[in-house]
Amino acid sequence: MEWFFGFLKANPYILLFFTVGLSVWLGRVTIKGYGLGMVAGAVVVGAILSIWASTYGIKLQLDNFVRLLFYYLFMYGVGLRVGPSFINSLGRDSLGFTFLAVLAPVLGLILVVVGTRLADLPVGAAGGILAGSQTMSAAIGSAEQAVLDGVVALPPGMPPEAATGMIALSYGITYIWGTVGIILIVKYLPRWWGVDARAAAKKYEDEVGVRNVDEAGLSGYRAGGLRAYRLENPAAANKTIAQFRQDNPEYRVVNVCRDGESVGAEPDLVLRQGDVVALGGRLESLTDKMGLLGPEVPDQKALSVPLDQAEILVTSKDAVGKPLKSFRTSDIAGQVQLTKIERSGVPIPIGLETTLKRRDVLFITGLKPAVKRAGELIGIVARPSTATDLLTLAAGMILGFLIGKIDFPAFGSRVGLGNAGGLLVSGIIVASISSRLRFFGSTPNAARNILEDLGLVVFVAIVGLNAGSTLLEQLTGAIALKIFIVGFIACTIPPFVVWAIGYHLLKTNAAVLMGVTAGARSHSGPCREAAKEIDSSVPWMGFPVAYAVSGVLLTIFGYFAMLLAH
């Protein structure tokens, strides 16, 4: 194998993507549904390759510029993702969720700092334990930044590489329980508390009228329909479209064909016998009054009505805070179908009582004029696009680096957000602006996911590779056990506190609180498992705001864990 590791050392690009590929493959391996994931897999693969190569006297190491570049791209991507919901968390109706989302990371930070001090763990352990126990891989970077900035005093003779190696080591030891533990806790907390979360979810569904987003899939059912009828009923003839609508508000006259030619559907158009009328409405309505106009006909010209689809960003003051049922009497009812609502990139259940919040994204399909009208009523229409505004990406990155240069005196030194924190803030700013203008700074979800996924896994893989050769020198059984115990405590206690306060003091619905508890740990896995456990997607209602707030805090807390623990 010596020749193989020599080849990898001589070809750093192949080494990098070989490590990334193995990490992704290892991350897909699961045992009873649980696995490392590609990020933790990157630490494991990178460290193993580096340690293995060191047995042949070969030191595998990759450039720090590449490592930090990918981490900075990841941090900017995180800011873009959480931006809209982070701003929403400042709203009055989200204060309870925001409080719990702040409480969990703060408790985690305190437990990690106190545990590290009591156990007298080496420099670097605190940052890695926080990142692993709270399943926030981004905290590795902010913890490492504390080392690079010199705010953490290293013991005599300890090189910075040893501290960053300990960060990676502690992360790897605590990440597995950090992931599995929070999933089990969120999934079974209601049962341990003697609460019927399934019944709570059913109650919430009945109150809000939600349907389960997990049941969305391919289906032949469509809420709205379009059918054509030949007008033969004398009672409906000689009325204007406006008069017909007044008598039958559940229908929309979409098109009228007369003598084989389309004559449109203006409100003052008078309907005549023999006209072919295209009606739009809910399926129930279209089948409720058979014979209202006359027999149904497959008239291609009448039914050739242009359809459209769009994503509508909720910005209108007249729409924010309104339940979906309030639009049943609007002039778009029956002409568009709402297929999905996303809040902070997370689909939420849709029901008659679902209240729209600023920067929600509504996925609409339907008649082209109605989709345009929906945009006017609700906010800003954006067409699905795969284009990425690279100019805004460059400007956002520069803004982040400038923000990162701002520091202030604290703890006998000068601290600031650093490049990583600055880019996180910059991403939030850009996402908030683009969510208002929609066409500014376009970064499709797929492009943002590349920034996050590739940026983080490459960064962590390089951390593992560069730290691997020093891990054997630092690791002992006693240190590993202490790290695991501190991580176990930091992972386990905060969710119970969040649940107790949320359930008993804030009186939050148990099913919604499951999502809040998962979001407060910035981990979607527990929310997904909770939804499966109670057969309802209600937990997702509490997830987005808590997820955004805790994600920002935990990322920054990696830095403060290092600062406060030593």
Domain range list for the chain: 1-208+399-565, 233-294
pLDDT band at 498 (very low <50, low <70, confident <90, very high): very high
For the chain, give the mean pLDDT. 79
* 318/377 Cα distance (integer angstroms): 7
Identify the pLDDT of residue 495: 93
> For 445-476, how does the pLDDT look when each residue is reduced to its tens digit (9 = 90+)?
667 677 777 887 888 788 778 766 666 556 66
| DSSP helix/strand/coil, 351 | strand
Identify the pLDDT of residue 221: 42
Identify the pLDDT of residue 217: 40
Structure tokens at 137: 């891989």
Q: Would you say domain 233-294 falls under CATH 3.30.70.1450?
A: yes
Q: What is the mean pLDDT of residues 265-275?
A: 87
Residues 6+ apart with CB under 8 A from 4: none
Strands 224-230 and 34-35: unpaired
pLDDT band at 106 (very low <50, low <70, confident <90, very high): very high
For the CA atoms of the chain, what is the radius of gyration? 28
Identify the pLDDT of residue 335: 67
Identify the pLDDT of residue 71: 80
Residues 6+ apart with CB under 8 A from 163: 122, 123, 124, 147, 152, 154
Identify the pLDDT of residue 531: 82
> For 301-351, how does the pLDDT look when each residue is reduced to its tens digit (9 = 90+)?
888 877 777 888 887 888 887 888 787 767 676 667 787 887 766 777 777
**420 — phi, psi (to 5°)?**
-65, -50
Query: Higher model confidence: residue 270 or residue 80?
Result: 270
First to last CA, the chain: 40
Q: What is the mean pLDDT of residues 522-545?
A: 80
Task: Looking at mean pLDDT, say which of 21-30, 51-60, 225-234, 306-315 comes out highest.
Answer: 225-234
* 51/472 Cα distance (integer angstroms): 8
pLDDT band at 215 (very low <50, low <70, confident <90, very high): very low
Lowest mean pLDDT among 355-359, 373-377, 445-449: 445-449
Identify the pLDDT of residue 311: 80
Burial of 287 (0-12, 13-18, 19+ CB in 10 A): exposed
* 62/64 Cα distance (integer angstroms): 6
Structure tokens at 249: 């508000």
Report percent pLDDT > 70 for the chain. Answer: 83
> For 513-524, how does the pLDDT look when each residue is reduced to its tens digit (9 = 90+)?
998 999 888 777
pLDDT(411) > 60: no
What sign results for the dihedral spanned by CA atoms 192, 196, 198, 204? Answer: negative
Q: What is the mean pLDDT of residues 181-195?
A: 88
Identify the pLDDT of residue 216: 39
Identify the pLDDT of residue 113: 94
pLDDT(367) > 60: yes
Do the Cβ atoms of 283 and 222 come closer than 8 Å? yes
Lowest mean pLDDT among 117-121, 241-245, 322-326: 322-326
Lowest mean pLDDT among 232-236, 251-255, 471-475, 488-492: 471-475
Residue type at position 504:
H
* 9/425 Cα distance (integer angstroms): 37
Residues 6+ apart with CB under 8 A from 243: none
Structure tokens at 564: 């406060």
